[in-house]
A and B are shown apart, each in its own frame.
Chain A
Amino acid sequence: GAVVSQHPSRVICKSGTSVKIECRSLDFQATTMFWYRQFPKQSLMLMATSNEGSKATYEQGVEKDKFLINHASLTLSTLTVTSAHPEDSSFYICSARDSGGLFNEQFFGPGTRLTVL
Chain B
Amino acid sequence: QKEVEQDPGPLSVPEGAIVSLNCTYSNSAFQYFMWYRQYSRKGPELLMYTYSSGNKEDGRFTAQVDKSSKYISLFIRDSQPSDSATYLCAMKGTGRRALTFGSGTRLQVQP
Contact = CB atoms under 8 A, between A and B. Distances in A.
Interface of A: 1, 4, 6, 32, 34, 41-44, 46, 49, 91, 93, 95, 97, 103-111, 113
A114 B58 CA distance: 35
B42 A110 contact: yes
A105 B41 contact: no
A110 B103 contact: no
Given A42-B103, A44-B88, A103 B32 contact: yes
B103 A111 contact: no
B97 interface: yes
A46 B96 CA distance: 13
A46 to B, nearest CB: 5
Contact of A97 (B42, B88, B97): B97
A39 to B, nearest CB: 11
Q: Is the interface of B mostly helix, strand, loop or mixed?
A: loop
A34 B90 CA distance: 14
Contacts of A1: 45-46
Given A6-B43, A91-B41, A108-B36, A43 B101 contact: yes
B97 A108 contact: no
A78 B10 CA distance: 34
A34 B32 CA distance: 17
Given A43-B88, A103-B51, A111 B42 contact: yes
B42 A106 contact: no
A107 B47 CA distance: 10
Given A43-B104, A103-B49, A103-B51, A110 B43 contact: yes
A35 to B, nearest CB: 10
5 contacts: A41-B8, A43-B88, A93-B43, A95-B44, A104-B97
A30 B25 CA distance: 28
B88 A108 contact: no
Contacts of B29: none
Contacts of B46: 1, 105-108
B18 interface: no
